[in-house]
Structure 1
Amino acid sequence: MNTASPTVTLSDDQRDCYQELTNVAMGQAADRLARLLGEYVVLPIPRVNLIESSDLRMALEGYGEDSSVSAVCQGFIGSGIAGEALLVFNDTSFKDLARLTRREQDLTHNGQLELLMDVSSLLIGACIQGIGEQLEVHFNQGHPVVLGQHCNVRDILKAGNELWTKTLAIEIHYTMESVNVDCDLLLLFTEDSVLRLNQKIDYLLD
C-alpha cells in the first residue's frame, strides 16, 4: 500500500519567518556587493511563495519577453535540504558593473562571463551562507552553471530544472540607486526540502 506524500503548505507565520531570515541573509550579501562596487544597494522585501515549477516565469515577470538577460544557476545541499539558486542579470547592467569594477577595457564576451560569475558567486554564496547560519545548516554548494548569456527569460527557464512538482521560491531583487545594475536572485527549494525547512521554521517560531 502506497503512503501519500505530505502536502506541502506555507502558513502566514512561516512565510513571515522566511522573509525575516532572507532579509538578514540578503543584507549580508548586499553589504559585500556594496563594498565591491562602492555603491549603495537597494533592498526590497523578499517575496516568498510556493509555486509550481511551470510558474517560474511569473517570478521573473519584471523581464519582458524581449529583454536580454544572462543567468547563472548553482545548486546547494545540506541536512537533507536541497535547492538551486538562480541569478538573472539584465544585460544592461554589464556596462556599469564593468565601470565600477574597473574592467571597462575587458567587456568582451569572456569578460562579461567572468564578471557575471564573480558577482553571482558573491551574491549566491553570501545569501545561502546567511540563511544556513540562521537555520544551523551547513550548505555545500555545487559548481555554478551558466544557463544563458544575452538571451530571453523563456530560454533561461527552458535550461533550468523542470523536474520538481512544487517549489518554495524566495525572490530577491537587487538594484542600485545611482547606477544601472539590476538583477534577481531566486532561491528554489525542492518540494521534499520544504517539509524539512518548515520544521526548522516552526522550531524558531515556538
Structure 2
Amino acid sequence: MPTIKTIIFDFGAVFIDLNKEVAHQNALALFELDELHDELVSMNTLYEQGLMSTEEFLDFYTANFPKLSKPQLIDTWNSMLGHFPEKRLNFIKSLASEANYKLILLSNTNDLHINWIIDNVPFFEDFKKQFDAFYLSHEIQLRKPNADIYEFVLKQNKLTPEECLFIDDTKANTDAAANLGIHIWNIDETQEDVTDLFRIKKDLF
C-alpha cells in the first residue's frame, strides 16, 4: 500500500475550468484558418515555457496577422480561462490546514494567462499561499510532459517518486510522471472533480 506524502496538482482543468475547444475555435476564426499550423503551435509552446516575452509573442502574431490588434489577440488567448469554483479553494485550504501532505502546484501556463487570473480571480493569492511550492512553466522555463520538469520538482523538494501523487487532466503529462514512478490521477474534468480526490483515489490513501 503506497504512503502518499506529497500531492502535486496541475492548475488548469483541475482548479480553474478551461474552455479549450472554445478557445481553439476562437483562434481559428480570428486567424481565418482551418487548423493551427506547426509554427503557431511551436510559438505557443515557447511562450508557455518562458522562452519568449509577452511582447515578442504578440509581435510575432501581429507580424503574421497584420489585420489583428494586440487586444484582440489577448482576448482570444485568454478565452480559454473559465470559472474557478470556490469549493476547490476551500478544498485546498482544508488540506493545507490539516498539514498531512506537502502540497505542490505544477502548471503549464504563461504570463498572459496568469495575469488574467490575478485580475479576475479575487482569491488567487489566498489560493497560492496554500501550497508549499508553486511552479509555473514560464517562470521555471520547463514544461510538461518533458521529464526534466518532474525531475526538477522531485530534486527541489527532496521527494521520493513513490511517495508522490500527481493530478493532471492531460494523459501525456500523467504518463510522463508515471514513467518516473510517481502515482498519478489523470483526472477527467468532465466527470470528476479534484474535491473528490479521497473518494476517487481512496486506494492510495
TM-score, normalized by length of structure 1?
Answer: 0.28
If each structure's helix is expressed as a fraction of its own residues, which one has the higher value? Answer: 2
TM-score, normalized by length of structure 2?
Answer: 0.29
